[in-house]
Structure 1
Amino acid sequence: MGGPPPPPGGFAPPAFYAPPQKPLNLSSKPLKSFNWTKIPPMKVKETVWGELDDAGVHEKLRSVGEYGEFEELFAAKEVRNLKDGAMGASTESLASKEITFLDPKRSQNCNIMLKAIKLSAPTITTALATVDDTILTSSVLVELLKFLPTDEDRQAISQYPPGSPEYENLASAERFLSDVSRVEKYEGKLRGVYTKVMFGEWEDDARGLVERLEGASKDVGESGKFKEVLKIILALGNYMNAGQRGGAFGFKLGSILKMMDTKSTVQGRKHTLLHYLTELIEKRFPELADFTTELKNVEEGAKVTIPQIRTVMIQIRDNLKELKILIDDLEKDKGKSAPKKVIKPTDGPSTPGTSEPVTKESPTTEEDRFIPIMKSFHNMATEKYEDLDKKFKESEKEYESVVNLYGEDVKTTTPEEFFGIFAKFVGGYQLAKTENEMAVKKAEDEKKKEEQRLIREEKKRAAKAKGGVKRSGSGE
């Protein structure tokens, strides 16, 4: 498509140099093909070919009758008439070596991809037009996006139009790229369908992270019992600390984790300030014993990173913007041309990795449904994205609010660090409680064993004393 004319007083783009067209079909009979890659006419001037003209060579060879011998040496084999009872043989041009123009490694990888996805160009074309995500799965789309026709490929492809003998001799990878290069906005459509296929997963990931951030922030902000526990810890700390370290009105949240390192004088088992706190709450503040249930979401909140949420949100936003541009461009193009028909692949078995030309006529056609399907998806996805973006901003504000509430620096404190303190404290508290219960049980078991030992010893003494009485009685 040409661009709009330059504005008044503007500069028109420089005209491309194109040499005069050369005469075609010079031979008097069909000859074998010479598989070369032509330099585009507009680029000839930049190369040595701009200085070379073969007109003089033609004139000389014709004057000496050289072309007659040349045609005999390189004549194409003629197809025998089937009426003669013999099977018509392929012409030499069709049986000649496959035409390749791709880098060998790229060609090999493309063929591997085609064998893996087992889809022909017509099938892909139809699947794009109908947005068939049962065919164009995320894994298939990822592979197809690895092998997009380059500008260099398109220059080479232009020399082998569908229906020409040369086109029929294109190798499978070259033929595939040739076919898909003729699909309108092929790359954009692949990316658009990929956005549709992946949107649900992207949205679920982002929404899950937002909900974790929101849930943990609410727990920490609304937990009345945990705040009462902090009051107890403040009292214990001020009672323990003398001088400048005492008389505190508050402390950095991370300090609560140091309770695990403050050992008591209890012998024979692990006992720290945190173990004492659990015992104190059970004995003196039983109404706070279940404060950990108010912090059930902090562990998941500690797995959230705000940059991670932003990355997913930006990915969704940018892909939807790209899709909107594609839809708008396609609608503009559609308004300038008749409605397009999509060639449906013919039924029946097909060889994996092969590519039939997309221009080949098939028994059935159907309207291109890409625009209405993707437009409907874009409207739905945009609505969901805007709702999610609103919730993300709200949850981020709520997070910043609770960080400030606990006296931490919003600019340097991440959810992993902030909620991680709560999660570690809750885990440590529950472990200390379990260890206390085990210590109590162990002490009870040892007490029972000691009581049983004393009972056994008492029985032995009683039995011994009774035996002594009997012996003394028999001696009288």
Structure 2
Amino acid sequence: FILSAVLTVDHSVVDLDAIEALYENRGQPEELEKIRKHRESSEEDDVKLLDKPEFLYELSQIPDFPGRACCMIFQSTFTDGISSVKRKLSSVSCVCKVLLESSGVKEVMGLVLALGNHMNGGSKIRGQADGFGLEILPKLKDVKSRQDNRISLVDYVVSYYLHNVDKNAGTEKSMFPLPEPQDVFMAAQVKFDDLYRDLRQLEQDLTRLKEAQMTVKRITGEKKVETRKTNPNSL
């Protein structure tokens, strides 16, 4: 059952953990040589008593078992690896799309700029700014009202937006004008250096897989092996 699945590189029959266990515990040349000599010098009944060594020997008879196992492991993990990269890129892409295309973002940023220019009205330079650095946004909460220091500039921006900009304020049609905070948080966790490293690793693994695949095909073409049924519990 297991040997047949490995022989045909059928990962749908044997799960990833089993394949990894087989690969990690495969017989080494010295061990296989001892098993071979024991088989040659022992009676058939004695050989059958050695379940694990016998299984390792049967496993070694599969043409290029390590290569086949690597192919199966990669086939099982490649999709997860690509999905992880895609999910991270998607989170960044979605936030960028909202920031670039959402009219709500432009309105909020325009409101912040207008209020900033109004507050700096006494300065000919700072009171006529065409834009501002994003690094000032976290500081808006520190700008307090003179009448009530419990109210920050952030509170005022929100209040002004709801009363003067959002025509659907107070209704089910009212939409949050900025990217969802959780989406922004997830996108901020993405490190492009890590993504580049992950993609490079996948590329290297794929190259090794192609080499292993060619080796399996070559060895299989040179050697025809018959496998017998093995007790599934013999591992």
**Shared fold per TM-score greater than 0.5:** yes
Aligned 8 A contact 1:141 1:190 in 2: yes
Count of matched residue positions in the alignment of Structure 1 and Structure 2: 225
Q: Measure the CA separation in 2 of the matches of 1:177 and 1:236.
A: 76
User: 1:330 is matched with which residue: 216, 229, 235?
Assistant: 216
Q: Which amino acid aligns with 1:298?
A: V
Q: How high is the sequence identity, in percent, across the aligned residues?
A: 23
Cα distance in 2 for residues equivalent to 1:262 and 1:344: 79
Structure 2: distance between partners of 1:264 and 1:128: 72
Equivalent position SS for 2:78: helix
TM-score by length of 1: 0.41
- Is the contact between residue 216 and residue 295 of structure 1 (CA under 8 Å) also seen in structure 2? yes
Counterparts in 2 of 1:218 and 1:275: CA distance versus 1, 3 Å: same
Deviations 1:354-405 (A, max 9, x none): 26xxxxxxxxxxxxxxxxxxxxxxxxxxxxxxxxxxxxxxxxxxxxxxxxxx
Contact 2:81 2:202 in 1 (8 A): yes
SS at the partner of 1:251?
A: coil
- 1:344 & 1:172 partners in 2: Cα distance? 14
Aligned partner of 1:177 in structure 2 is: 56
Q: Could you tell me which residue of structure 1 aligns to residue 109 of structure 2? A: 230
Report the CA distance between 1:326 and its aligned residue: 1.7
After TM superposition, the structure 1 = structure 2 runs for residues 231-380 of structure 1, keeping only pairs within 5 Å, are 231-241=110-120, 246-247=126-127, 248-267=129-148, 270-287=150-167, 292-293=176-177, 295-296=179-180, 297-337=183-223, 340-345=224-229, 350=231, 352=233, 354=234
Greater fraction of residues in helix? 2
**Larger CA Rg, structure 1 vs 2:** 1
- Separation of aligned partners in 2, 1:261 and 1:236: 15
Q: What is the CA–CA distance in structure 1 between the aligned matches of 2:73 and 2:93, rounded to whole Å?
A: 30
Matches of 2:226 and 2:37, distance apart in 1: 24
Query: Residues 230-276 of structure 1: CA distance to partner in whole angstroms, max 9, x if unpaired?
Result: 12212222332455983443322131121122222344x83111111
Q: Give TM-score, length-normalised by structure 2.
A: 0.76
Unaligned runs of 5+ in 1: 1-122, 356-476
Q: Please give the secondary structure, in 1, of the residue aligned with 2:176.
A: helix
Structure 2: segments with no counterpart, 5+ residues: none
Give the SS at the match of 1:235.
Answer: helix
1:138 maps to what in 2? Answer: 16
Distance 2:77 2:207 in 1: 15
Aligned partners of 2:144 and 2:151 also within 8 Å: yes
> For each residue in 1:390-423, what CA deviation from the matched residue of structure 2 results, as whole angstroms up to 9, or x when unmatched?
xxxxxxxxxxxxxxxxxxxxxxxxxxxxxxxxxx
Change (3 A) 1:305 1:287: farther
Q: Describe the superposition over 1:198-241 as per-residue Cα deviations: whole angstroms up to 9, x where unpaired.
A: 23323322222222222222111112331232122122223324
Structure 1 pair 293/221, CA: closer, same or farther in 2 (3 Å)? same
Cα 1:131–1:236 change in 2 (3 A) is same
Distance (Å, rounded) in 2 between the aligned partners of 1:281 and 1:313: 43
> Alpha carbons of 1:183 and 1:246: their partners in 2 closer, same or farther (altered >3 Å)?
same
Distance 2:184 2:35 in 1: 59
- Counterpart CA distance in 2 for 1:153 and 1:244 is 85
Q: Which has the higher contact order (CA 8 A, sep 6+)?
A: 2
From 142, 164, 168, give the equivalent of 2:47.
168
Deviations 1:327-364 (A, max 9, x none): 21233334445xx2542416xxx473x26xxxxxxxxx
1:220 is matched with which residue? 99
Classify 1:234/1:299 alpha carbon distance in 2 versus 1 (closer, same or farther; 3 Å): same
Alpha-carbon spacing, 1:305–1:138, altered in 2? closer, same or farther (3 Å): same
Q: Is the Cα contact below 8 Å between 2:62 and 2:225 reproduced in 1?
A: no
Partner secondary structure for residue 145 of structure 2: coil
How large is the RMSD of aligned CA atoms in angstroms?
3.3
| Alpha carbons 2:99, 2:179 under 8 Å: kept | yes
The CA distance in 2 between the partners of 1:351 and 1:326, in whole Å, is 26
Amino acid across the alignment from 2:41: S
